[in-house]
Amino acid sequence: MNAQASALMGDGQRAGHLAHRRDGAVSITTKGTVLRHEQLDAIACLPRVHLIVSVDGPSGAVHDVVRGRCGAFETSRTFVAEARRRGIPILINMTVSEKNYKYVIRPLSSRVFGVPLILA
């Protein structure tokens, strides 16, 4: 485990244990564009921790335009799949804008990612 994953593990454990004592949970919000397996492994070991992944459309044609980065959608999809494979609870967050408002549909995240959608 590298130093960054180790630090995440320590901070996450403290936050997770605090959340557990107070009957709460810890959310980590991410774009899901950086896939570090050791960090996902560390997160998977933490109590009461889930990820919220920001996705701005149902496909690369929409998401990549909103993000201004070709391939961002597929990178986020891979990130979500790897997190789910480890049993990490996932929610999808979508910020609605003029570029993607036509694509706001509740089944978006369950159809594409298999997880719940949060609209912001």
pLDDT 10s digits, 76-105: 999 999 999 999 998 888 888 999 988 876
pLDDT in tens, 47-77: 788 899 999 988 899 999 999 999 999 999 9
The predicted pLDDT at position 22 comes to: 65
For residue 58, the 8-state DSSP code is: S
The structure tokens listed for 46 are 């933490």
8 A C-beta contact, residue 30 and residue 49: no
The number of beta carbons lying within 10 Å of the beta carbon of residue 64 is: 19
CA 49 vs CA 20, 37, 52, 83, 84: distances in Å: 10, 16, 10, 12, 13
Task: Return the CATH number of the domain spanning residue range 3-119.
Answer: 3.80.30.10
